Structure 1
Amino acid sequence: MGIIVVRALQIWRLFISLSSHAFCRSGDSWNHFLQLNKIHALQVAGVEELETGQAIHDSLEMEFQVIKARPSFKLILGIFLLSYALTFVCISFINPIADLYANKGGMFYANTNLQTHIALHNHHLEITQQQKKKKSELDALSCSSLINDVGGKNASGGHGKGILCCDRSRYRTDVCYLRGDVRTHTETASISVHTHNHKLVQEKIRPYTRKWEQSTMNTIDEITLKTGDDNGDACQVQHDVPAIVFSTGGYTGNVYHEFNDGLIPLYITSQHLHGQVVFVILEYHNWWMTKYAEIVTQLTNYPVIDFSNDKRVHCFPEMIVGLNIHDELTVNPELMKDGKSIGDFRALLSKAYAPRLSSMPQKQSTDEEHSSSLKASGLPNVSQLAKLKLVIISRQKSREMMNQKAIVKLGEKIGFEVEILNPKRNTEMVDMFRALNSCDVMVGVHGAAMTHFLFMRPGSVFIQIVPLGTDWASATYYGQPATKLGLTYLEYKILPEESSLFAEYERNDPVLRDPDSINRKGWEETKRVYLDGQNVKPSLQRFNKTLLSAYSSVLARKYEILPSVNR
């Protein structure tokens, strides 16, 4: 494009030269006009003189007032304006064509032979910012590729050039990667990787998947990652498989967060290693390991390391610090190089609890046997089927179902076998899995215990009772993830008259009629009013329709019939 612009300037010079003999009679004023015209041409072309341009321009303008009084001024001025206009037309015509062939990554006039061809400051700044952004994105992409290739053919096995990089491009989590001679240093809460140069590079990271919640992240132990030619302490335990470092701090203790922030991200980050990985845990809790031992041992073949209390120097060929996370309680197959999904995580849960389930009492006859008996008789009689199982997740203190006993009787009247679960912190996960893995329908009021839908078989029905003010959270945290798992998801939305808040507020109060206005005041207000301050009492007439819909859905799936009896 620079060559084309030069040609346009040469055309302008030709017009000037044709009128030079007429203009030269004005003596030195030719030189003044030539300088003034040059400044204007440079400005039109999108460039600026350096420093002195404006000063020259001002002095020439003063002299121009004297020249205007001369008789030949009008003729000279006409020639000047004609050449100026032709130059403008040429450049305006050429620029769109030149843009088609321009080097978009370079400066506008990088190849011209003008003495001054500095791009406008803003344009230069924009290019610099774009280059930095592209470099940052490239660095994150390269680091992400290394993270995804952990344990692959490119692993250095502790030899070769040391690598330390961090992908900080994501909203939910930071993840760092180390390769080479990687060593843990408990005393300094650091991990180092040996390099062959003296340059020290440091990264700090809190390996927990709620990056956007600063108050929560401030409670997570920070770890320093560093490079250098001296790793300090000698290796005391040498590992020949990669390590993954993560924290079980934060909201650990809440079953939703234990799965959403920890176990599912751990699966996403480690499952492709097929157990050939060591887990290094910050803020280690014995009770957490006891509670989730069956799941953890499906992901690693090695003992877990308690980073803070194991003072030995552990050495690894590769390490990931932090966990990948996709969305609420889900695994996105498009982000997994082997296409794994939340269904595969659920299959891992089934495998994890299978040994203990096999030792528990089983039904004398299976649903499949009842189905075969039904088809053999040719009689689509619902009474011949095994009773469908309905599990109700019970709550106390807040969001309690105040007419739970009546709901149980309603379910039994429809034809369900009803089981009530009241999960506590010390409830064994295998007991929850046994009950929900064998159920056809689960009912519960919105809350962390709804996370247990992960234990249900695809095709089962999940009914979530949605209290006032929790529509978005109910759908986002549980409804949408349940659908991705393959469950039939039904919502029962509480009306103002079915909420305990109806007795506390006036009928037209925004708390009852406009919950969104309350939610816009912030999480603390939502928690105070709708989560901690509300119980529910579903209408038996309305809820009966929801249970019948769930019953019909299960029959259609399991036995390929619909109930013919009006209930």
Structure 2
Amino acid sequence: MPSPINCYNSFGSYNLCSISSPTVLDPKVLTFYDMGPTNLLAKDPRKRENFITARIGEATLTSGPIGPHCMVRHNAPALLFSVTGFLCTNFFHAFNDGFIHLFITVNSVFSVDQDWVLVISTSCDWWIYKYKDLLQRFSKHRIMIVNNNTATHCFPSAIVGLLSQGLMTINPKLMPHSQTLRHFHALLEQTYGKKLNNRATTSISPISPSQRYRPRLVLATRSNHSKGRVILNQAELRKVAEEEGFEVIELEPKLRTPLSEVYELVSSSHVLVGVHGAGLTHLLFLRPGSVVVQVLPIGLGWLGGLCFGKPANELGLEYMEYEIGVEESSLREKYGKDDLVIKDPLVLQWKAKVWSKELMDIYLVEQNVMLDMVRFRGYLKKAYEKARVFMEKEG
């Protein structure tokens, strides 16, 4: 008799396990009990990144011993995933490793007319509150938080883990109904979107009449120097952007800033500018035809393309890259212009054979930028031209 417990470990960085028969979840030990003949272990998806998974608990799928008595009974299957590590603190990972993977999983594993219960293991309850509206788009049932439960729960079946198809992407060839990142964008619009009345006004960005007919540029800022990639001459950047005709809004939401406010601001804007980092994840909120300008620090060209360039193109955005020169990077002061760190970062990264924490610290944490505003002004001029065309069509 085939086992009702199955784990699929062939994915590069992710495991997905399932129990195809009735099961009991004991949240105190994060264990699904089943009467099948096997005993398997399912870990959080990022199984290769040890410095992340060290902080993430494990869920166990087991056929023995006999499970505890059922206290709460559900008529829909469970979908268990973990919200810890980077998902808690980083906006990019909340979407790349969380919601996009959740979208892929529910559309790949469950049928169109099937219900399921989201079961979330988390160490940050505020995360559930911040994203509650979006989470409820995936299930009509009340979300179960494992950490807040002591009662045992029965489900007709269960899925543990989330599927991934790469960085910030949805591959239509792998989706049952050929869904793409644009379908995910439509889900965000259904959740947070409002009918735009010329230009949205939020508590983040009150608008004066003189600004109403200027293209809005959202500047994704990074004020925490300990995390790197700060624009050191940001005040000058803002001044030049305003000289080129933009209304400029600096955006750096707090952890508890309502996502509906951020969505309303960004989706009513025309240009998003920022250094490679979590703030550029807001491109998911832009309307097709909007402009994205990604500032690429030294050593991050390939990563910037994967994280934001490719998804921007998939969403129908006007994507531009500004690769900084050696003289614009703070790494020059620390390593010197002839060090391999600066002279040929791709060779250095190739020799390492893995995008290690050490390399991440050099290029993501240690590095800030001082933009050459003469050169960057040219990019702003092009962005303004594209934004005016878009604004005339879409408002």
Aligned to 1:528: 361
Q: Give the superposition deviation at 1:468.
A: 1.2
Q: TM-score under structure 2 normalisation?
A: 0.87
* Aligned partner of residue 375 in structure 2, secondary structure: helix
Letter in 2 for 1:313: T
Aligned to 1:392: 219
Alignment of 1:339-488 (within 5 A): 339-354=178-193, 363=197, 365=198, 386-396=213-223, 397=225, 398-488=228-318
Letter in 2 for 1:246: F
Aligned to 1:298: 137
* Structure 2 spans left out of the alignment, 5+ residues: 201-209
Aligned to 1:334: 173
* Aligned partner of residue 324 in structure 1, secondary structure: coil
Corresponding residue to 2:339 among 509, 528, 537: 509
* Aligned partner of residue 180 in structure 1, secondary structure: coil
Q: Give the superposition deviation at 1:554.
A: 2.9
| Cα pair 1:241 1:276 within 8 Å, conserved | yes
| Cα pair 2:199 2:268 within 8 Å, conserved | no
**Counterpart Cα distance in 2 of 1:218 and 1:395:** 27
**Counterpart Cα distance in 2 of 1:222 and 1:329:** 25
| Cα pair 1:274 1:300 within 8 Å, conserved | no
* Aligned partner of residue 57 in structure 2, secondary structure: coil
Of Structure 1 and Structure 2, which has the larger fraction of its residues in helix?
1
User: Is residue 247 from structure 1 mapped to residue 82 from structure 2 by the alignment?
Assistant: yes
Letter in 2 for 1:203: L
Q: Give the superposition deviation at 1:431.
A: 2.4
**Counterpart Cα distance in 1 of 2:259 and 2:191:** 11
CA distance 1:400–1:161, shift in 2 (3 Å): closer
**Counterpart Cα distance in 1 of 2:315 and 2:57:** 33
Q: Give the superposition deviation at 1:275.
A: 7.7
Letter in 2 for 1:550: A
Higher Rg: 1
CA distance 1:161–1:469, shift in 2 (3 Å): closer
Letter in 1 for 2:73: Q
Letter in 1 for 2:256: N
| Cα pair 1:161 1:180 within 8 Å, conserved | no
Structure number with greater CO (CA < 8 Å, separation at least 6) is: 2
* Aligned partner of residue 294 in structure 2, secondary structure: strand
Aligned to 1:259: 95
Letter in 1 for 2:388: L
Alignment of 1:50-199 (within 5 A): 163-195=4-36
User: Is residue 542 from structure 1 mapped to residue 375 from structure 2 by the alignment?
Assistant: yes
**Counterpart Cα distance in 2 of 1:486 and 1:209:** 29
| Cα pair 2:32 2:60 within 8 Å, conserved | yes
User: Is residue 223 from structure 1 mapped to residue 88 from structure 2 by the alignment?
Assistant: no
Q: Give the superposition deviation at 1:498.
A: 1.5
Q: Give the superposition deviation at 1:322.
A: 0.9
CA distance 1:187–1:529, shift in 2 (3 Å): closer
* Aligned partner of residue 149 in structure 2, secondary structure: coil
**Counterpart Cα distance in 1 of 2:257 and 2:237:** 24
| Cα pair 1:463 1:490 within 8 Å, conserved | yes
Q: Cα deviations across residues 324-353 of structure 1 (Å, max 9, x unaligned)?
A: 111111222221112221111111111212
Aligned to 1:238: 73
Larger CA deviation: 216-225 vs 486-495: 216-225
**Counterpart Cα distance in 2 of 1:233 and 1:523:** 42
Aligned residues: 374
**Counterpart Cα distance in 2 of 1:179 and 1:524:** 38
* Aligned partner of residue 299 in structure 1, secondary structure: coil
**Counterpart Cα distance in 2 of 1:244 and 1:449:** 29
| Cα pair 2:3 2:38 within 8 Å, conserved | no
* Aligned partner of residue 140 in structure 2, secondary structure: coil
User: Is residue 554 from structure 1 mapped to residue 387 from structure 2 by the alignment?
Assistant: yes
Q: What is the RMSD of the two structures over their aligned residues, measured on CA atoms?
A: 2.6
CA distance 1:192–1:505, shift in 2 (3 Å): closer
Q: TM-score under structure 1 normalisation?
A: 0.62
Q: Give the superposition deviation at 1:526.
A: 2.5
CA distance 1:526–1:187, shift in 2 (3 Å): closer
CA distance 1:496–1:232, shift in 2 (3 Å): closer
**Counterpart Cα distance in 2 of 1:264 and 1:491:** 24
| Cα pair 1:329 1:481 within 8 Å, conserved | yes
CA distance 1:275–1:301, shift in 2 (3 Å): farther
**Counterpart Cα distance in 2 of 1:220 and 1:498:** 38
User: Is residue 205 from structure 1 mapped to residue 42 from structure 2 by the alignment?
Assistant: yes
CA distance 1:556–1:241, shift in 2 (3 Å): same
**Counterpart Cα distance in 1 of 2:91 and 2:153:** 31
Letter in 1 for 2:279: A
| Cα pair 1:333 1:341 within 8 Å, conserved | yes
**Counterpart Cα distance in 1 of 2:163 and 2:319:** 27
Q: Cα deviations across residues 404-442 of structure 1 (Å, max 9, x unaligned)?
A: 122212222222111111233233222221221111110
| Cα pair 1:204 1:224 within 8 Å, conserved | yes
| Cα pair 2:252 2:279 within 8 Å, conserved | no
| Cα pair 1:211 1:217 within 8 Å, conserved | yes
Q: Cα deviations across residues 128-148 of structure 1 (Å, max 9, x unaligned)?
A: xxxxxxxxxxxxxxxxxxxxx
| Cα pair 2:289 2:390 within 8 Å, conserved | yes
**Counterpart Cα distance in 2 of 1:492 and 1:186:** 48
